[in-house]
Chains A and B, each alone.
Chain A
């Protein structure tokens, strides 16, 4: 078995070099690309993202990535969102009173954090479910967050009894917010695993283990 092939989505979002290097460090064969063929064929797709929700959504749409991501998720093929690449999987983002539609895999609104000091910047603890795959062995670790917005309410309804509810990991800055979601092939984290030292490396390795 060779190294897992991972595509890091290249759509003009900030510093993606760290994400590429961090994945390589834990043994992935990484391509930085927006080529639809490579994006769909990779064993795992990473969606990075920094900056404004609206700008990231627009950039994702402009390169046809929303469609690509949707097809991967529908086909059960792993996708990992990071930071704003985590936020866009919720229903909508509200920045400065302006609402932007998200990809909408999960219900919820990305809104300004309710805390005395914003941005939330630095190493924070997480509260992950016992059976979390991403956070396996990492329940007592801190991860590096940089964000001013987040999802502070989880409103997922289990519509069918056989449906497995997503695993939700929380953190707190002022108020609790969602730090990670594991939902079948689709996972996303609000912090930056690529900047979270050894703990972040282990989380990426845990994710590679699911590919």
Chain B
């Protein structure tokens, strides 16, 4: 008896519409986040994540509407990330119906914002989204560097040390995305998962590199408590979540 490994689809949302599209048969509107959220819920997703990639702040209002409509119809946890900079931003998302918010660049720029958020709402609402890549920089002891701006900008900050610091400051969970593995479909960066797992005792969500169900169990063996992916679910067969869960179950880990 233990907590199930969570399987989490991630949707990129721009001005209230899903970008990159999702290839499900029979969808009336492949760009409607609410309809997709319902589909993923029915398909067995354990949580959902929306990554708000909206550029302009005026369009951001639409995001809050979408979050609200989703929370009205889907009764599993919803995390929303993208553009979260302050405790007030988190407040706005929670009031809209999100259960958790994820923070990335803003926490790198000003780590104090973590405790400002968790003191007000508790650790459970805050996910640190950590985009990391391998580096030869001798200053970066673990060999993994924190990046910002979707992996385009290196910071010279050690990703493992940053994960530990953020956990110490109060984040309830860490979403570890490998920039090197992202989009390769060649599997997760297992060494990176192991390195971060050894440094933190908060739940760890692995992301980046999933190309098929067989890629998931090694990430869990490496120490992930949850797995997040986008394209494999969006463009794979409708039962991909079930296939992933089957692979995890066969490897001896509990799933819902």
Residues of A within 8 A of B (CB): 14-15, 17-18, 21-22, 25, 50-52, 116-125, 127, 142, 144-148, 171-173, 192, 194-198, 200-201
Contacts and interface: CB of A to CB of B under 8 A. Distances in A.
Contacts of B121: 14, 50-51
A122 B3 contact: yes
25 contacts: A14-B94, A14-B122, A18-B75, A18-B97, A21-B71, A21-B72, A25-B75, A50-B125, A117-B201, A118-B201, A119-B123, A119-B124, A119-B172, A121-B225, A122-B5, A122-B46, A123-B256, A124-B2, A142-B256, A145-B3, A148-B124, A173-B2, A195-B77, A196-B76, A198-B75
A178 B3 CA distance: 15
A74 to B, nearest CB: 31
Residue of A14, A50, A145 ringed by the most chain B CB atoms within 10 A: A14
Closest 6 CB pairs of A and B: A51-B122, A123-B256, A122-B3, A123-B4, A124-B3, A146-B124
For chain B, give the interface size range.
20 to 34
Given A14-B125, A15-B95, A116-B201, A123 B3 contact: yes
Contacts of A200: 75
B225 A196 contact: no
A119 B172 CA distance: 6
Nearest to B74: A197
Nearest to A141: B256
Interface of B: 1-6, 41, 46, 68, 71-72, 75-77, 94-95, 97-99, 121-125, 172-173, 201-204, 225-226, 256
A51 B41 CA distance: 26
Contacts of A147: 124
Looking at chain B's contact residues, the main secondary structure is loop
A51 to B, nearest CB: 4
A18 B124 contact: no
A198 B75 CA distance: 8
B75 A172 contact: no
Contacts of A15: 71, 94-95, 97-99
Contacts of A197: 41, 75-76
B124 A121 contact: yes
A172 B77 contact: no
B71 A17 contact: yes
A42 B256 CA distance: 35
A123 B46 contact: yes
A95 to B, nearest CB: 11
Contacts of B68: 17
Nearest to B172: A119
Contacts of B41: 197
Q: Which of A15, A147, A173, A194 has the most CB of B within 10 A?
A: A15
Q: Which of B4, B72, B77, B95 has the most CB of A within 10 A?
A: B77
Contact of B2 (A25, A172, A196, A198): A172
A171 B2 CA distance: 8
A134 to B, nearest CB: 17
A142 B4 contact: yes
A16 to B, nearest CB: 10
Given A15-B95, A127-B1, A122 B76 contact: no
A50 B122 contact: yes
A194 B75 CA distance: 6
A120 B123 CA distance: 12
A119 B202 contact: yes
Contacts of B71: 15, 17-18, 21
Contacts of A52: 122
A120 B202 contact: no
B75 A122 contact: no
A18 B70 CA distance: 10
B41 to A, nearest CB: 7
A121 B124 CA distance: 8
A22 B73 CA distance: 9
B125 A120 contact: no
Contacts of A195: 75-77, 99
A154 to B, nearest CB: 17
A145 B90 CA distance: 21
Contacts of B4: 122-124, 142
Contacts of A51: 121-122, 124
A107 to B, nearest CB: 25
A165 B2 CA distance: 27
